[in-house]
Amino acid sequence: MNKQLTRKQLGALGEELAWTYLEEQHYELIEKNWRCRTGEIDLIVMEDSCLVFVEVRTRSGSPLFGTPQESVNAKKQQQVMETAQFYVHRYQKQHLQLRFDVISIITTKTGTQVSLNHLVNAF
């Protein structure tokens, strides 16, 4: 019998699934789990000349309590945008176009992917 994943394992699995999907879409990985004093960004990728900050949300089981993307509320969006600005400033990326995406993943309790939804330009 398969064991249920912990929250941390589920999050790590979701980020791996999201990266695999983005790689298949020909995105270039810049950073994974980039942290600074304002927070963390799950994935930072390039698509052509656009720097994309990706928030990955993973849930297991049924979406009875809302979809994963619904959990990216205004406060979380603000935190991601502040962290992105910090990144852009620190690495002198002001010349690039910026975009904020959300990848929403639903898995079974044991971690089998059920769905993946990529919201481009989510906020």
What is the per-residue pLDDT across 30-78, written as a single tens digit (0 to 9) for each? 999 999 999 999 999 999 999 999 999 998 876 666 778 878 899 999 9
Identify whether 26 is part of a domain.
Answer: yes
User: Which residue range forms the structural domain that includes residue 22?
Assistant: 7-119
pTM: 0.92
pLDDT of residue 64: 67
Q: How many distinct structural domains can be found in the chain?
A: 1
Output b/e per residue, 2-34; b: 16+ Cβ within 10 A.
Answer: eeebeeeebbebbbebbbebbeeeebeebeeeb
Mean pLDDT of 107-123: 93
CATH code of residue 52: 3.40.1350.10
User: Whose CA is closest to 18, among 71, 55, 70?
Assistant: 55
Mean pLDDT of the chain: 93
Identify whether 25 is part of a domain.
Answer: yes
C-alpha distance from residue 2 to each of 109, 111, 123 (Å) = 9, 9, 37
